Structure 1
């Protein structure tokens, strides 16, 4: 039996805010189309369920716990979902079909790393080399 092509999970982060020049009707239409698109992809196995994020936030660090918000409007994360695809490029092509792009949102697509973190391997948290 032939092997199925490898499929990995990619995190899809919804970023930004609605375009202030769009009407509430235009935005709601994009949202409605998004949920139709999303449910179809969930049924196909191309999406795994994620969620919208509430507006409340707190930051926990070695300096303690502080209330938010912490980011500029363009960096706000409004929700997350998972795309199942054969490559990062394929996941990005799927995300590019999202109807909410037309109303000002953008999407960040990130591969899920399944390895445990290590201080001996470069990762997102690794500071850049000293200049």
Structure 2
């Protein structure tokens, strides 16, 4: 088994098929989208492939170490930006091919008018071993 992160991006500007910004969806369309995500996770829980997942609020801040004591905090990310991380899901699957299959299925979540949004999902494997240097 190998763990993968499915990183869900919210695009505030159209960039794909049926990529209508979520602020233009009806409450029923948002409910249908969330139900699809929950049903997807519940099905993967039954197969043992679901590890965890969360939706993220559109507001936040950036923080970094500055070496001076209290870290500086700046506003952002902003919901008005073109690309915002909307949530994530961790899966534990038998193969890379299965991870691709599930990411493709998740990309079909319904959006405006109930049509699949065909969103791009970032698929990242978990680092299982530190990289080694060979000479």
TM-score for both structures, normalised by structure 2: 0.67
**Native 8 Å contact 1:30 1:103 kept in 2:** no
Q: What's the CA shift for 1:62? A: 4.0
**Paired residues, number:** 114
Unaligned runs of 5+ in 2: 12-18, 67-71, 111-115
Could you tell me which runs of 5 or more consecutive residues in structure 1 were left unpaired when the two chains were aligned: 1-6, 122-131
Query: 3-state SS of the aligned residue for 1:36?
Result: helix
Partner of 2:28 in structure 1? 25
Moved more, 44-53 or 59-68: 59-68
- Superposed CA RMSD in Å reads 2.9
* Cα distance in 2, alignment partners of residues 55 and 67 from structure 1: 12
Given that residues 15 and 106 in structure 1 are in contact (C-alpha distance below 8 angstroms), is that contact kept between their aligned partners in structure 2? Answer: yes
Matched residue SS, 1:96: helix
Preserved contact between residue 63 and residue 73 of structure 2 (Cα < 8 Å):
yes
Deviations 1:43-81 (A, max 9, x none): 211111121112332212245321212687443111111
Deviations 1:74-130 (A, max 9, x none): 431111111112333320211111242623643111000023478x69xxxxxxxxx
Q: TM-score, normalised by structure 1?
A: 0.68
Q: Does 1:39 align with 2:42?
A: yes
Q: What is the aligned partner in structure 2 of residue 82 from structure 1? A: 90
